[in-house]
C-alpha cells in the first residue's frame, strides 16, 4: 500500500511540475484547454462597504474544466469572480457571454479588460501580461 502512495505521489509531483513549467506568457487563453496566467495593472472593486483601487494589482486567471468558464482571483483583498463564461471572438480573444454596458470582460494573451457589475458590486481591471 505504501508503494502505491509513493508511485501516486511521484506521478502527481511530475504532473504538477509539467503543468507549471508549460504555463508561460505565450499561452493563449482562447486556444488552450487549460490556462493559468497572471495579469498585472490597474484593478479596483467597489460595493456599499468597500472602495479598493490600485495601479499595481494582479489578477490570476484560470480556465476551469468546462472549457468556456474562467475564474479571476484578484490581489489587494478584492473578492474573486468565479465561473464567468466566455466565447471566442476572432483568433485569440475571449469576450464574456452576454456582455453589455454593465458587464464587459475581454481577455487575450496580452491583455485583460474588465468592467463587471452585479448586485451593487463593481470590479474593474486594465491589466497586461
| Number of Cβ within a 10 Å radius of residue 36 | 16
Mean pLDDT of 68-77: 91
Q: Strands 81-89, 103-108: parallel, antiparallel or unpaired by DSSP?
A: unpaired
pLDDT for 47 beyond 90: yes
C-alpha cell at 106: 475581454
Distances (CA, A) of 77 to 5, 23, 42, 73, 74: 37, 25, 14, 10, 7
Question: pTM for this structure?
Answer: 0.67
**Residue of 21, 17, 39, 20 lying closest to 29 (CA atoms):** 39
pLDDT score, position 63: 83
pLDDT score, position 24: 46
> Most confidently modeled of 29-38, 96-105, 109-118?
109-118
When the pLDDT of each residue in the chain is averaged and rounded to a whole number, the result is 76
H or E stretch at 2: helix 2-21
pLDDT score, position 20: 47
pLDDT score, position 69: 83
Amino acid at each position: 500500500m505504501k508503494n502505491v502512495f509513493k508511485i501516486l505521489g511521484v506521478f502527481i509531483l511530475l504532473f504538477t511540475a509539467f503543468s507549471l513549467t508549460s504555463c508561460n506568457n505565450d499561452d493563449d487563453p482562447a486556444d488552450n484547454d487549460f490556462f493559468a496566467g497572471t495579469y498585472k495593472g490597474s484593478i479596483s472593486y467597489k460595493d456599499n462597504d468597500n472602495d479598493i483601487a490600485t495601479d499595481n494589482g494582479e489578477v490570476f486567471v484560470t480556465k476551469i474544466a468546462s472549457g468556456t468558464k474562467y475564474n479571476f482571483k484578484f490581489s489587494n483583498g478584492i473578492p474573486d469572480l468565479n465561473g464567468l463564461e466566455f466565447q471566442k471572438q476572432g483568433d485569440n480573444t475571449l469576450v464574456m457571454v452576454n456582455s453589455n454596458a454593465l458587464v464587459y470582460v475581454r481577455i487575450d494573451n496580452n491583455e485583460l479588460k474588465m468592467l463587471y457589475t452585479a448586485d451593487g458590486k463593481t470590479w474593474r481591471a486594465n491589466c497586461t501580461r
